Chains A and B, each alone.
Chain A
C-alpha cells in the first residue's frame, strides 16, 4: 500500500507527463487531465486490484473505464507509470502509427484500454455491461467509470443512470469530474447540470462527494465507496476538481480544455511540477 506522500509524488510526475505529451504533440486536452491526475493515481496505485500483464476480460480484477476519453494524457501516463507499457512510449502520443491515439482505443492494442472512448456519453453503459458480466462470472471485483461533467449533458448517460439502480448493479463505482468547464465555457453558461449528487440520488444511487484534488480525501472516499458496494445500489462520487490543477495559468478556466502550451509556457509549467520519477 502506497502512502499519501508517495501518491502525491507520483501525481506530480503524472502532471509533468501530461503537459509534456500535449506540448510535444501540440494538441490534446491538458486541463481535464491535470484535474483528474490525483484520482487516477489513487485508483491505479492504491484502490484498484489490477494486473499490468493485462487481459481484456479483466477476470478477478477491478476494471477502469474512461468515458471522457479526451483526457487520455492522464490515463496514458498512469498506465505507463503503473507498468502497462514502457514509459518512453508516452513520447508517441498522437503521432502517426502510435498506440497512444488522441482518444483511447483498443484498435492498436494498447494494454489497459478495453473499449474506445471519446464520443461522449457511452462509457457508463459499457461499465454497466462489464459489471453485469462480473456478476454472471461470479467475479467479486469492481468496475470503476470516470465521466466528465459536461458529458452529463448527453442523453445516454441518463439511460445508464436509470438502469443501474433498477438492476442493482452494486459492483459499480461511477465518478464524475465536476470541474464545471466544457469547451465553450463553464457549464453554468453552456448547459447547467445542477446538483449531480441530488440527481443520481433521486435515481437510486448511493452518493458520495469528494475534493478530487485532495489526495487524502480521494483515497479515503474511494475506500468508503468500495465498502458500500455489494449492498444493492451502484455508487456515485461527485468529484469536485479544478481544471488544469497544478499549472497556475491553466487552473480554473476552460481555455486549456483542449489546447497545447507553447515552449515558454511549457517551461513555466515544468517549473511548477516536480520531477519525481524521471521524465520519459
Chain B
C-alpha cells in the first residue's frame, strides 16, 4: 500500500484551490469570492474572468473583508475569503470570532502561504499559530489538505458544508499523490496499513511522512500512515483505531507544536488510550527567510526528522 503512493509531479496546493474554485463556482452560483489584494497569489483569476459580478476586490483591508463576508452570508451567499494565512487569522481574529464564528456564518476562510514553506518572505508572513487559533473557535471546521488534488477536493467540499470553515494551504510546488483518493470533511485518510507505529500528518507534512515511512520500511519498521486533513472536527475514531494497533504515535505538522494537530491528537490519546507520542512541529519559535527545503530542515520538519521522531516513539513503547 505504501509502495503505491507515488508523486505524479509537482503543483502548489494553492493551484489546487484555484482549480477547486473553478469547479465549485460553475456548479453553485451562490459561491462568491473576496480577496484582499492577493487574487494572483490565490489563483482565482479564472473565477474573476468567468464571474466578475460574484468577485469582490476588498483592497488591503482584511478586517473589512471578514465583515463583508459575514454580511454576504446573511444574504444567502457562500463567501470564500482569500488572502495569506497570516492575514486570514491573526490579523482578523476578533472579526472572525464575533462576526463569523459566534454568529455562525457560512463563510469559508481560505488561507494560502501558511507555514515555513512560504519561504523567502520570512517570519512576518510564515504563520505557525493559525491552526491553534482557528481550532479554538467553537463551531469552526479546520482543514489543512496535503497536495493539489486534496486541496481542490476540499475547496469544493466546503461549499456543501453549512458553517464557517478555515481552509489552509500553501505556496510552494509540492508532490501530488492523492488524485484517486477520497476526500470527506472530518474523515481521516488512511494511506498505509502498518503495525509498529502510527504517523498522523497534515498539510505538506503528509508527503514528508510518506517518504519517512518508506525509509522506515527499509529498516523493517511498519508504519500505519494516517492523513489528518481535517483537524477539527478530528477523526478520533481513526486515530484510536490506529494507535490500538501500533501502540505509539508521531504527529507531523507545519505549525507550532502548541495548539495544532499534535495537541489535538494528544488530547484524544490522553483521554482514551494513552500511548507514547512524539511531535514533529516547530518548537515554539518564529521562522525566517530561506527556501522551503532549507527551512523544513532547520526547523526540524525534514523527512529525517520524521524518521528520528518515529524511532523515539518506538523506543518509548
Which residue of B58, B59, B98 is within 8 Å of A122 (Cβ)? Answer: B98
- Chain B contacts of A208 at CB under 8 A? none
Query: Does B77 contact A136, Cβ atoms closer than 8 Å?
Result: yes
Query: Does A160 contact B67, Cβ atoms closer than 8 Å?
Result: yes
Which residue of A115, A160, A163 is within 8 Å of B74 (Cβ)? Answer: A115
Q: Residue on A with the closest CB to B104?
A: A106
| Residues 155-176 of A at the B interface (beta carbon under 8 Å) | 155-156, 159-160, 162-163, 166-167
Query: Does B64 contact A132, Cβ atoms closer than 8 Å?
Result: no
- Chain A contacts of B73 at CB under 8 A? 129
- Chain A contacts of B248 at CB under 8 A? none
Query: Does A133 contact B76, Cβ atoms closer than 8 Å?
Result: yes
- Chain B contacts of A124 at CB under 8 A? 67
C-alpha spacing A130/B56, complex, angstroms = 13
Smallest beta-carbon distance B283→chain A, Å:
33
Cβ of A57 < 8 Å from any Cβ of B?
yes
How many chain B residues touch A (CB < 8 A): the figure is 32
- Chain B contacts of A131 at CB under 8 A? 71
A125-B68, A132-B56, A136-B54 as given contacts; A114 in contact with B76, CB under 8 Å: no
A125-B68, A155-B63, A163-B59 as given contacts; A136 in contact with B53, CB under 8 Å: yes
- Chain A contacts of B72 at CB under 8 A? 129-130, 132-133
Smallest beta-carbon distance B164→chain A, Å:
13
Query: Does A156 contact B77, Cβ atoms closer than 8 Å?
Result: no
Query: Does A126 contact B63, Cβ atoms closer than 8 Å?
Result: no
- Over the window 133-155 of chain A, the binary record of Cβ atoms lying under 8 Å from chain B Cβ atoms (1 yes, 0 no) is 11011010000000000000001
Cβ of B70 < 8 Å from any Cβ of A?
yes
How many chain A residues touch B (CB < 8 A): the figure is 40
Cβ of B99 < 8 Å from any Cβ of A?
yes
- Chain A contacts of B59 at CB under 8 A? 159, 162-163, 166
- Chain A contacts of B56 at CB under 8 A? 132, 167
Cβ of A128 < 8 Å from any Cβ of B?
yes
Cβ of B195 < 8 Å from any Cβ of A?
no
Smallest beta-carbon distance B70→chain A, Å:
5
The prevalent SS among residues of B at the interface is helix
Most chain B CB within a 10 A radius of its CB, from A116, A123, A127, A166: A116
Cβ of B136 < 8 Å from any Cβ of A?
no
C-alpha spacing A155/B63, complex, angstroms = 9
Query: Does A129 contact B74, Cβ atoms closer than 8 Å?
Result: yes
Cβ of A117 < 8 Å from any Cβ of B?
yes
Query: Does B76 contact A137, Cβ atoms closer than 8 Å?
Result: yes
Query: Does A56 contact B63, Cβ atoms closer than 8 Å?
Result: no
Smallest beta-carbon distance A123→chain B, Å:
8
Query: Does B75 contact A134, Cβ atoms closer than 8 Å?
Result: yes
Most chain B CB within a 10 A radius of its CB, from A107, A134, A136: A136
Query: Does A126 contact B99, Cβ atoms closer than 8 Å?
Result: yes
- Chain B contacts of A56 at CB under 8 A? 74
Cβ of B32 < 8 Å from any Cβ of A?
yes
- Chain A contacts of B26 at CB under 8 A? none
- Over the window 38-53 of chain A, the binary record of Cβ atoms lying under 8 Å from chain B Cβ atoms (1 yes, 0 no) is 0000000000000000
- Chain B contacts of A167 at CB under 8 A? 56
Query: Does A115 contact B75, Cβ atoms closer than 8 Å?
Result: no
Query: Does A128 contact B71, Cβ atoms closer than 8 Å?
Result: yes
Query: Does A156 contact B54, Cβ atoms closer than 8 Å?
Result: no
Query: Does A126 contact B68, Cβ atoms closer than 8 Å?
Result: yes
Query: Does A122 contact B102, Cβ atoms closer than 8 Å?
Result: no
- Over the window 68-99 of chain B, the binary record of Cβ atoms lying under 8 Å from chain A Cβ atoms (1 yes, 0 no) is 11111111110100000000000000110111
C-alpha spacing A160/B65, complex, angstroms = 9
Query: Does A114 contact B67, Cβ atoms closer than 8 Å?
Result: no
Cβ of A58 < 8 Å from any Cβ of B?
yes
- Chain A contacts of B77 at CB under 8 A? 133, 136
Cβ of A105 < 8 Å from any Cβ of B?
yes
C-alpha spacing A155/B91, complex, angstroms = 13
Cβ of B171 < 8 Å from any Cβ of A?
no
Cβ of B50 < 8 Å from any Cβ of A?
no
- Chain B contacts of A121 at CB under 8 A? 63
- Chain B contacts of A116 at CB under 8 A? 98-99, 102-103
Cβ of B181 < 8 Å from any Cβ of A?
no
Query: Does B58 contact A136, Cβ atoms closer than 8 Å?
Result: no
Cβ of A118 < 8 Å from any Cβ of B?
yes
Query: Does B63 contact A125, Cβ atoms closer than 8 Å?
Result: yes
Which residue of A107, A125, A139, A156 is within 8 Å of B71 (Cβ)? Answer: A125
- Over the window 185-201 of chain B, the binary record of Cβ atoms lying under 8 Å from chain A Cβ atoms (1 yes, 0 no) is 00000000000000000
C-alpha spacing A44/B199, complex, angstroms = 58
Query: Does A57 contact B74, Cβ atoms closer than 8 Å?
Result: yes
Cβ of A26 < 8 Å from any Cβ of B?
no
- Chain A contacts of B32 at CB under 8 A? 136
9 tightest A-B CB contacts, nearest first: A129-B71, A133-B75, A125-B67, A159-B64, A159-B61, A129-B68, A130-B71, A156-B63, A126-B71
Show 7 A/B contacts (Cβ-Cβ < 8 Å), sorted by A: A115-B99, A125-B67, A129-B73, A129-B75, A132-B72, A163-B64, A163-B68
Residues of B within 8 A of A (CB): 32, 53-54, 56, 58-59, 61, 63-77, 79, 94-95, 97-99, 102-105
- For the A-B complex with A57-B74, A160-B68 known, give 16 more contacts whose Cβ atoms are closer than 8 Å: A56-B74, A59-B75, A115-B70, A115-B99, A116-B102, A122-B63, A122-B94, A130-B72, A130-B75, A132-B56, A139-B75, A156-B61, A156-B95, A159-B59, A159-B63, A163-B59
